A and B are shown apart, each in its own frame.
Chain A
Amino acid sequence: MRRLRAAAAFATVTALAATASACGGGSDTGGAGGNDSPKSLTYWASNQGPNIEADKKILTAELKKFEQQSGIKVKLEVVPWSDLLNRILTATTSGQGPDVLNIGNTWSASLQATGALLPWDGAAFDAIGGRARFADSAVAAAGAPGKDPAAVPLYSLSYALYYNKKMFADAGIAKPPATWDELVADGKRLSRDGKWALGAEGANLANNIHQVFVLGKQHGADFFDSAGKPTFTSDGAVAAVKQYVDFMAKDKIVAPGSAEYAQNQSLRDFSTGRTAMVLWQAAASTFAAQGMKPEDWGVATVPVPAGTPDAARNVNSMVAGINISVFKNTHNREGALKFVKFMTSDEEQKILNRTYGSIPPVKAAQQDPVFGAPDTSVLKETLLKSAAPLPQVPEESQFETAVGTAVKDLWADAAAGRAVTTESVKAALTKAQQQMPK
């Protein structure tokens, strides 16, 4: 009996030690990826559709096709946006990640700096049909300039102004605003009877960044200089942040409650007729899922300042989008490349982007007539003509948090009725800049 117990104790310790060494990254394949598991792949997809279940359904059908073609079984996991970056970071640290994953294209340079993603050199691009198949602006948002991209563009997106046709008609407004002055003027007519003109997601850090980046460009400012140093406190950047928060603080066309929104509640408010406009990327599938009919809403280009801004300032969207990456530690490098080739094939690009309401970054697929529909043609035109990629610097994700939080705090001030002044904006941005890693 005693011997049995001793044996059991010994077995437990051995088992623990074995587990520990397995956790220690014993499966690292030296960084270039291996092919010792050729029959299966793990894929982390970002949440693109109205919810995770919808994504699972959409993607599972496509993955079956891939399995039939290649004999490789893909294990799918749809990861919500709020968890995705942390999950990638954990996988990077432990070396135990998926084989293929989606990343937000704004994170490309940050994740590239960790060295966890397979660089897309000429040979890797050749394996999926060549770099020339993809739109230049989309590839530009896949890694730092001058380096092999860390990812391949999968879905491209841009911002547009969605507006409620009936609410516009009721307020006697004939067409969507083309300039910010018009938007504020229309907004004042629309904000009445418990309804509001413009939706916002005050506590959503990434959304805050997207909006103030575009306004910053329109004010002739960027958030990083050409050497990659943060310039959050430049006059243009301060003016951009103030203009955005002033929609609530001064113009009173954003509902105070929006200051705490972070889960796309502004889309629900739009679908239920509580707000008349929202600045969003490819929101059509969400509106439809929330019971809105396509004829109820219109889509217009994001407004610009009045007058005729020069080309550099004529930006009305960031280059938004999702990239697909291969984890360097993959055990099925060849399979992963095959999978990326499948996902970026002309045919799949048409199917997936049509389903999600996004624009294919693959030039051949862009020609499909479905992307010429009124909704998507606005997004497509913006993407091709007047969108700029967010700064592709390694500190991009920290920038999103630091400046995104500063804007979030300013929204909170505006909602509480506290004054938002040039000084308070500048102070918030100064603090954000000081928080950036040196």
Chain B
Amino acid sequence: MSAPVTPPTPAPTAVGAQVPPERAERSGPPRARRRGPRTPGRIRRASLPYLLLLPALALELLIHLVPMVIGVVMSFKTLTQFYIRDWTTAPWAGFDNYRISVDFSAPVGKDLLDSFVTTCLFTVASVALCWLLGTAAAVFMQESFRGRGPLRALFLVPYALPVYAAVITWAFMFQRDNGLVNHVLHDQLGLGGDRAFWLIGDNSLYALLTVSVWKGWPFAFLIVTAGLQNIPKELYEAAAIDGAGMWQQIRRITLPALRPVNQVLVLVLFLWTFNDFNTPYVLFGRSAPKAADLVSLHIYQSSFVTWNFGTGAAMSVLLVLFLLVVTGGYLLLTSRGRKSADA
């Protein structure tokens, strides 16, 4: 069967493409009357975009929505080792799992709250440092100098390395007796009295923060660099002529121009850091020291170590809700700020 002949239709207009003047001038309702009869070819063409979207939709459904719905269902079940083989048979728990998770006077809730506070502090510190380092490096690398290319490539190494390999190397370096960190701090620089522990006890949060920032700042560097390249050079030239120094240029041109980039960057860094599981898990194993007990690892422990999958699922749902609220609030605030800046 040969393909049916379809009447010629105007080429589809891409978003943002230049509209030809004669069509731009035309006004009034959509040109429905110009459409011909609904031939099979036309129907097929109309449905083609949806058909092309199908794989993406199916994937989204499979990878995100279905597990999410399963997770929510699990959070309402008493799911322990007795039922994991067929979780659908687990008895309903109603809101018990949620009640346990937020009962801050009992150990489970108190631990969750502690790890939540730790995670918030850790995230704020890590995102701030990543952003600062990344922006500083990007601004510094704007100037052309010998060896800029290789240096830029070097900056991106932490971002390119497989997380597991990188973090396990850090774990070796943080070992108390044989690690490089104590060797440098204690043996070579002579700091402190005794060798410090980094993987247990209170210092573990600093160890975690170090690895997190080391891993995260190249991404900030990459994004800010891209943002910087969009700022017209003329602005700086004009500012220089007006007598603005480097700091003033950064404050009055660079940072405002980077605002939209930073908005996305901070949000992405926040979400990644808040949910980071790999770094603490590889660094500390399945039971993190109290000082560095991030909420992601805490939920993992509830689910996969203590085998309270229902409670773990409830904690996950609470976490997602929290992140949704924070993200929504952040987007609302920043977009409002942007509108008033634009006005």
Contacts and interface: CB of A to CB of B under 8 A. Distances in A.
Do A and B bind? Answer: yes
Interface of A: 2-3, 5-6, 9-10, 12-13, 16-17, 20, 82, 86, 89, 92-93, 95, 110, 113-116, 202-203, 205, 255-257, 259-260, 262, 394, 397-398, 401-402, 404-405, 408-409, 411-413, 415-416, 431, 434-437
Interface string B31-55: 0000000000000110010011011
A262 B176 CA distance: 13
B290 interface: yes
B199 interface: yes
Contacts of A110: 81, 307
B82 interface: yes
B242 to A, nearest CB: 55
Given A17-B58, A115-B85, A205-B287, A259 B197 contact: yes
Q: Is the interface of A mostly helix, strand, loop or mixed?
A: helix
A265 B301 CA distance: 25
Interface residues of B, number: 41
Contacts, number: 112
Given A408-B287, A409-B289, A415-B200, A431 B84 contact: no
Given A260-B176, A402-B306, A203 B200 contact: yes
B81 A394 contact: yes
B304 interface: yes
Given A203-B285, A409-B289, 19 more contacts: A13-B54, A89-B304, A92-B84, A92-B85, A93-B84, A95-B85, A205-B287, A257-B176, A257-B177, A257-B195, A259-B197, A398-B307, A401-B286, A408-B200, A416-B202, A434-B106, A434-B108, A435-B107, A437-B80
B175 A260 contact: yes
Nearest to B175: A260
Given A92-B84, A259-B200, A260-B175, A86 B62 contact: no
B84 A6 contact: no
A436 B302 CA distance: 10
B4 to A, nearest CB: 12
Nearest to B203: A416
Contacts of A397: 81, 307
Contacts of A402: 306
A349 to B, nearest CB: 31
28 contacts: A2-B45, A2-B48, A3-B3, A5-B52, A6-B51, A9-B51, A9-B55, A13-B58, A16-B62, A82-B286, A93-B85, A110-B307, A114-B85, A115-B82, A202-B200, A203-B285, A255-B177, A260-B199, A260-B200, A394-B82, A397-B307, A401-B305, A412-B289, A413-B201, A416-B202, A434-B107, A435-B111, A437-B308
